[in-house]
């Protein structure tokens, strides 16, 4: 060791093989990576790049024998991990190497209290008495800033919030002061404000403990927020690595350039003059409560108000963004407006006709004017139908000639930049981005006046996301569409929306032109939301789009 | 570089090719298919290989098997040819198996689909009816129905269908309940598709695989139920059925066990073939369940 800090983890020419029939023979190919004590190394890549398998290989938790390490070395504190017995690995796991998972709800055992689960780690690895263990667990809960640690100690995982569960996971993984922490997308399932708190917490605790952290993520904003060093994976190959500043601001490899180029910038496009086009969709005084159905013995549960007194206007050719964190009621809005959910009060006027008061028959006719693009492109396409039938279904239901509707569907495929050869395939044969294109084509087939898009790109990788967004913008401008765009991602909202509504707990807290809201947020909640965007101080360098 | 999003993966082989590839991975299922083919062949060739009425006297009563090549599997106490009975019995068993299963599945799918899709009071009402049927033991209900309707083969088949629809109904209901919340159903509703179309064209095809698998179980059970009825001498006496043969062979079980054993073996292999078939279908239709 020549440098001052000891290297905690060294990967040398690590190779992981995939089973036959996978898209490539090796999940990871000759991966070199070094993590020193007190350093956070971010491993970045799109889905399928092999980043999670890398974590599995270090922990010795690969789904063998289908997927296994076939070459290279994994050295932990100078010691080779490959070839260690299961018992030896068990002693290392938890005590010296620990892991923070993506989804704290599934990573914690719902049957046991938080305290019991932290206690278990100590019971297995440390020789401590019962009282010592409890004191240590409560101390750890305090260090991860959980309010009222003694009561959290006795709580079950479902009784604490998502962010707090992740804190509990972090407390569990740090309780034995491990030398290496592997964090596999630890903040992906969390809201932005919680995400920022968790990132700060990881940074803070890591400073105190001096552990090395391998932080796996797909989000360049998070990288900018937390990393000391970055390694970029593309289909199992390390294409670029270096300090955060070097990789984020001066990327060398074309793949990295393309990835960073795809990150939407936070600065909204210049302010367009407020549109004076006619209003196509107008919601007034919308209200929706979900009556929770109580169990036989538990009695009636309190009804939850998802949306209260919401009003908005969407003008022809305009994009209105609805942003907010989970539970803010933004998805409920998209379902009420399309009347997939019945609303308790209020009206939604589509070109002057009240959609919510329409009879079932009128409603079916009205539906062709308001179409929806769904969040999950896998779930929203019927897996048993061919693409051409999926797209042509709407027009056929509304009385179009089936033959002509299918011809039209093939043209729409071209419009969303898919080859007409796709027409006779089934949805599962396409990638996520391609499926979302099919979803868009289906919405366009009805030639609607309004398209409601519910988080249409949040299930997609960043590069694909950029392409789908570009397509949406392109189509919107060409066909003069009006979009109601629901999203949690403020970067996406900044790029796409002319005006935005910020929602919190079912209410609008702020609304206005996107550029103005971003530049000068008035409501404290909006301010908090905007200041929590990971990597908000980093502006992706403008790179030539021809990089790919 | 994986950034290009516009190219499409090469086409997959057609569905039935994929299906057969997955199916044949399970060796036991292939055996089931072979057994099933044998039973079907027996049923088809009953009139060709062994012409004549299986209820007609063919030789000396109680001839043991492999003695007289006129009656290779022997004769029963009335001198009827056992082999011919087994071949003609295959027809009856398959007929009952297929028709009773169809009846059960149709009733089950309709009731389960309505209950699962609409929920609320429709679900409550239909499920209470289902439970009423489930509280009576299947076979007791079957006996009661046969006692009321008489033991003609058509009524027996219908009665077997009526006692076996409850399990598929519950299964379909569960499938529908999970599928109706999926986004593709919302997408169809958003296109203005009617409820009937959503139920039968959108959801049902997605709910079918487990039902098809379960159908093989019902088929096996119906054959057993018919045999049990015939064994109790409640079957249709105008047809040679395996259950009838076992029932009559019971009288000479000590002196000539083959009279009951041979049709018994036929039942075992047929039921086995259906259950192996079902397992193979399960592997082929729900590939994600394994591995």
- Residue A59 C-beta-side C-alpha neighbours within 13 Å: 22
Instruction: Nearest by CB to B3, from A364, A429, A548: name it.
Output: A548
pLDDT at B50 over 70: no
A289 Cα to chain B: minimum distance (Å) = 18
Cross-chain residue pair B189–A393, CB shorter than 8 Å: no
Q: Which residues of B touch A255 (CB under 8 A)?
A: 1, 3
A430 Cα to chain B: minimum distance (Å) = 7
The ranges of chain A with pLDDT < 50 are 1-3, 545-548
Q: Which residues of B touch A364 (CB under 8 A)?
A: 192, 194
* Per-residue model confidence (pLDDT) at position B52: 67
Q: Give the C-alpha separation, A119 to A96, whole Å.
A: 17
Cβ(B52)–Cβ(B241) below 8 Å: no
pLDDT at B8 over 70: no
Q: Give the C-alpha separation, B212 to A7, whole Å.
A: 58
CA B92 vs. chain centroid, Å, equals 13
Sign of the alpha-carbon dihedral angle for A19, A23, A28, A29: positive
pLDDT at B101 over 90: yes
Which residue spans within A107-258 are E strands per DSSP?
Answer: 180-184, 212-217, 229-234, 237-243
Q: Give the C-alpha separation, A82 to B164, whole Å.
A: 56
By CA distance, what is B197's nearest residue in A?
A397
Q: How many CB atoms lie within 10 A of CB A21?
A: 5
Q: Give the C-alpha separation, A83 to B124, whole Å.
A: 59
Q: Which residues of A touch B124 (CB under 8 A)?
A: none
Q: Strand order in A79-80's β-sheet?
A: A26-36, A7-17, A68-76, A79-80
Measured CA angle at B250 (ends B245, B251), to 5 deg? 110
Cross-chain residue pair B1–A258, CB shorter than 8 Å: yes
Burial class of B72 by CB neighbour count within 10 A (0 to 12, 13 to 18, 19+) = middle
A2 Cα to chain B: minimum distance (Å) = 36
Cβ(A543)–Cβ(A260) below 8 Å: yes
Cross-chain residue pair B186–A381, CB shorter than 8 Å: no
Its ipTM equals 0.75
A469 Cα to chain B: minimum distance (Å) = 13
Residue that wins the pLDDT comparison between B52 and A41: A41
Percentages of chain A per state (helix, strand, coil), in multiples of 5: 40, 25, 35
Q: Which residues of A touch B184 (CB under 8 A)?
A: 379-383
Number of independent structural domains in chain A: 1
B193 Cα to chain A: minimum distance (Å) = 6
Considering chain B, what percentage of its residues have pLDDT values greater than 90?
A: 27
Instruction: Nearest by CB to B192, from A383, A398, A464: name it.
Output: A398
Instruction: Nearest by CB to A422, from B8, B192, B202: name it.
Output: B8
* Per-residue model confidence (pLDDT) at position A236: 84
pLDDT at B2 over 50: no
Q: Give the C-alpha separation, B92 to B239, whole Å.
A: 8
**ω into A145 cis (within 30 of 0):** no
Q: Note whether residue A397 is domain-resident.
A: yes
Helix (H) or strand (E) holding B40: helix B27-44
Sign of the alpha-carbon dihedral angle for B53, B56, B59, B64: positive
At B260, is the secondary structure helix, strand, or coil? helix
A166 Cα to chain B: minimum distance (Å) = 28
Cross-chain residue pair B8–A418, CB shorter than 8 Å: yes
Indicate which CATH number applies to the domain containing A475: 3.40.50.300
pLDDT at B53 over 90: no
Q: Give the C-alpha separation, A463 to A46, whole Å.
A: 8
- Which range scores top for mean pLDDT: B31-45, B102-116, B198-212? B102-116
Measured CA angle at A111 (ends A105, A113), to 5 deg? 80
pLDDT, one tens digit per residue, over B212-261 is 888 888 988 898 898 888 888 888 888 888 888 888 888 888 888 888 88
Once rounded to an integer, what is the mean pLDDT over residues B79-98?
Answer: 86
Q: Give the C-alpha separation, A30 to A26, whole Å.
A: 10
Cβ(A445)–Cβ(A474) below 8 Å: no
Cross-chain residue pair B6–A419, CB shorter than 8 Å: yes
Cross-chain residue pair A434–B5, CB shorter than 8 Å: yes
* Mean pLDDT over the full length of chain B: 85
Q: Please tell me if residue A362 touches chain B, with a CB cutoff of 8 Å.
A: no
By CA distance, what is A418's nearest residue in B?
B6
Q: Note whether residue A145 is domain-resident.
A: no
Strands A345-350 and A279-290, how do they pair?
Answer: antiparallel
Q: Note whether residue A405 is domain-resident.
A: yes
Q: Note whether residue A233 is domain-resident.
A: no
pLDDT, one tens digit per residue, over B181-220 is 888 998 898 888 888 999 998 899 888 888 888 888 898 8
* Per-residue model confidence (pLDDT) at position A424: 85
Q: Note whether residue A197 is domain-resident.
A: no
Q: Which of A18, A67, A382 to mutate to test the interface with B (most CBs of B within 10 A)?
A: A382
Once rounded to an integer, what is the mean pLDDT over residues B11-35?
Answer: 82
Measured CA angle at A479 (ends B6, A401), to 5 deg? 80
By CA distance, what is B189's nearest residue in A?
A340
pLDDT at B68 over 90: no
Binding-face residues of A in 97-156 toward B, CB within 8 A:
none
pLDDT at B170 over 70: yes
Instruction: Nearest by CB to B1, from A255, A375, A446: name it.
Output: A255
A508 Cα to chain B: minimum distance (Å) = 26
Q: Note whether residue A527 is domain-resident.
A: yes
| DSSP assignment letter at A459 | T
Cross-chain residue pair B1–A464, CB shorter than 8 Å: no
Cβ(A462)–Cβ(A218) below 8 Å: yes
Q: Note whether residue A489 is domain-resident.
A: yes
- Residue B264 C-beta-side C-alpha neighbours within 13 Å: 12
Considering chain B, what percentage of its residues have pLDDT values greater than 70?
A: 92
B189 Cα to chain A: minimum distance (Å) = 8
Q: How many CB atoms lie within 10 A of CB A283?
A: 22
B14 Cα to chain A: minimum distance (Å) = 10
Q: Give the C-alpha separation, B46 to B39, whole Å.
A: 10
Q: Note whether residue A333 is domain-resident.
A: yes
Binding-face residues of A in 457-516 toward B, CB within 8 A:
463-464, 467
Domain that holds residue A503: 317-339+357-532
By CA distance, what is A255's nearest residue in B?
B1
Domains defined for chain B, CATH in brackets: 92-248 (1.10.3720.10)
Q: Which residues of B touch A439 (CB under 8 A)?
A: 187
Q: Give the C-alpha separation, B147 to A2, whole Å.
A: 94
* Per-residue model confidence (pLDDT) at position B5: 53
Q: Which residues of A touch B8 (CB under 8 A)?
A: 418-419, 421-422, 425, 429-430, 434
Q: Please tell me if residue A365 touches chain B, with a CB cutoff of 8 Å.
A: yes
Q: How many CB atoms lie within 10 A of CB B265?
A: 13
Q: Give the C-alpha separation, A88 to A122, whole Å.
A: 17
* Per-residue model confidence (pLDDT) at position A108: 86
* Per-residue model confidence (pLDDT) at position A457: 84
Interface residues of B toward A, Cβ cutoff 8 Å, are 1-6, 8-9, 11-12, 182-184, 186-194, 197, 202, 205-206
Q: Give the C-alpha separation, B91 to B45, whole Å.
A: 10
CB pairs under 8 A between A and B: 98
pLDDT at B4 over 70: no
Q: Which residues of B touch A374 (CB under 8 A)?
A: 183, 186-187
Percentages of chain B per state (helix, strand, coil), in multiples of 5: 70, 0, 25
By CA distance, what is A239's nearest residue in B?
B1
By CA distance, what is A454's nearest residue in B?
B183
B24 Cα to chain A: minimum distance (Å) = 18
Residues contacting residue A477 through CB under 8 Å, at least 6 positions apart: none
């Amino acid at each position: 060791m020549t440098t001052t800090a000891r290297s905690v983890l060294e990967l040398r020419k690590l190779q992981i093989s995939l089973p036959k029939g996978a898209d490539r023979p090796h999940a990871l190919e000759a991966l070199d990576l070094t993590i020193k004590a007190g350093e956070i190394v971010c491993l970045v890549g799109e889905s399928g790049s092999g980043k999670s398998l890398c974590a599995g290989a270090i922990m010795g938790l690969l789904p063998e024998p289908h997927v296994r390490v076939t070459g290279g070395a994994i050295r932990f504190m100078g010691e080779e991990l490959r070839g260690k017995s299961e018992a030896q690995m068990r002693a290392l796991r938890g005590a010296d190497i620990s892991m923070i998972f993506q989804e704290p709800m599934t990573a914690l055992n719902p049957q046991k209290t938080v305290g019991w689960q932290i206690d278990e780690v100590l019971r297995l690895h440390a020789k401590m008495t019962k009282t010592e263990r409890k004191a240590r667990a409560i101390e750890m809960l305090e260090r991860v800033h959980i309010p009222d640690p003694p009561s959290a100690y006795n709580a079950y995982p479902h009784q604490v919030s998502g962010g707090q569960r992740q804190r509990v996971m972090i407390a569990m993984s740090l309780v034995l002061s491990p030398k290496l922490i592997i964090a596999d997308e630890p903040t992906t399932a969390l809201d932005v404000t919680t995400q920022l708190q968790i990132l700060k917490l990881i940074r803070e605790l890591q400073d105190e403990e001096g552990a090395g952290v391998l932080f796996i993520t797909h989000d360049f904003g998070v990288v900018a927020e937390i990393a000391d060093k970055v390694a970029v994976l593309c289909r199992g190959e390390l294409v670029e690595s270096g300090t955060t500043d070097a990789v984020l601001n001066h990327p060398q490899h074309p793949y990295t350039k393309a990835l960073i180029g795809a990150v939407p910038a936070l600065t909204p496009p210049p302010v367009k003059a407020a549109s004076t086009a006619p209003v196509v969709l107008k919601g007034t005084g919308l209200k929706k409560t979900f009556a929770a159905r109580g169990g036989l013995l538990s009695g009636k549960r309190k009804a939850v108000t998802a949306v209260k007194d919401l009003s908005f206007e969407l003008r022809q050719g305009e994009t209105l963004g609805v942003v907010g964190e989970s539970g803010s009621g933004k998805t409920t809005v998209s379902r009420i407006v399309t009347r997939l959910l019945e609303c308790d009060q209020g009206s939604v006027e589509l070109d002057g006709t009240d959609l919510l008061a329409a009879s079932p028959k009128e409603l079916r006719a009205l539906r062709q004017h308001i179409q929806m693009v769904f969040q999950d492109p896998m779930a929203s396409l019927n897996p048993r139908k061919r693409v051409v039938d999926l797209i042509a279904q709407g027009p056929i239901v509304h009385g179009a000639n089936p033959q002509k509707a299918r011809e039209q569907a093939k043209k729409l495929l071209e419009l969303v930049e898919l080859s007409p050869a796709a027409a006779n395939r089934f949805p599962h044969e396409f990638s996520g981005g391609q499926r979302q294109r099919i979803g868009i084509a289906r919405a366009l087939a009805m030639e609607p006046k309004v398209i409601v898009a519910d988080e249409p790109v949040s299930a997609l990788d960043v590069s694909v996301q950029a392409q789908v967004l570009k397509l949406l913008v392109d189509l919107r401008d060409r066909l003069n569409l009006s979009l109601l765009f629901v999203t949690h991602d403020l970067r996406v909202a900044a790029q796409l929306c002319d005006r935005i509504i910020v929602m919190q707990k079912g209410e609008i807290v702020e609304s206005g032109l996107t550029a103005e809201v971003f530049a000068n947020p008035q409501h404290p909640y909006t301010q908090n939301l905007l200041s929590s965007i990971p990597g908000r101080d980093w502006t992706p360098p403008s790179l030539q789009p021809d990089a790919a | 570089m994986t950034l290009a999003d516009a190219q499409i993966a090469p086409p997959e082989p057609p569905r039935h090719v994929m299906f057969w590839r997955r199916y044949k991975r399970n060796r036991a299922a292939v055996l089931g298919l072979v057994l099933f083919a044998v039973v079907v062949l027996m049923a088809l060739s009953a009139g060709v290989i062994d012409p004549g009425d299986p209820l007609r006297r063919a030789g000396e009563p109680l001839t043991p098997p492999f003695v007289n090549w006129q009656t290779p599997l022997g004769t029963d106490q009335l001198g009827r040819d056992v082999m011919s009975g087994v071949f003609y019995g295959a027809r009856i068993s398959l007929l009952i198996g297929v028709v009773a299963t169809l009846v059960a599945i149709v009733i089950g799918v309709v009731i389960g689909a309505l209950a699962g899709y609409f929920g609320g009071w429709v679900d409550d009402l239909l499920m209470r009816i289902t439970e009423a049927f489930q509280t009576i033991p299947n076979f007791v209900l079957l006996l009661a129905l046969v006692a009321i309707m008489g033991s003609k083969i058509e009524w027996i088949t219908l009665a077997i269908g009526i006692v076996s629809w409850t399990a598929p109904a519950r299964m379909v209901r569960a499938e529908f309940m999970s599928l109706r919340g999926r986004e593709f159903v919302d997408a169809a509703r958003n296109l203005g598709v009617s409820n009937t179309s959503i139920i039968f064209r959108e959801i049902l095809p997605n709910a079918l695989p487990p039902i098809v698998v379960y159908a093989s179980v019902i088929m096996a059970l119906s054959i057993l139920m018919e045999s049990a009825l015939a064994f109790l001498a409640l079957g249709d006496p105008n047809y040679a059925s395996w259950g009838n043969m076992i029932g009559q062979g019971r009288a000479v079980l000590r002196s000539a066990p083959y009279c009951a054993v041979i049709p018994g073996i036929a039942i075992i292999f047929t039921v086995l073939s259906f259950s192996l078939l079902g397992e193979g279908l399960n592997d082929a239709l729900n590939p994600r369940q394994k591995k």
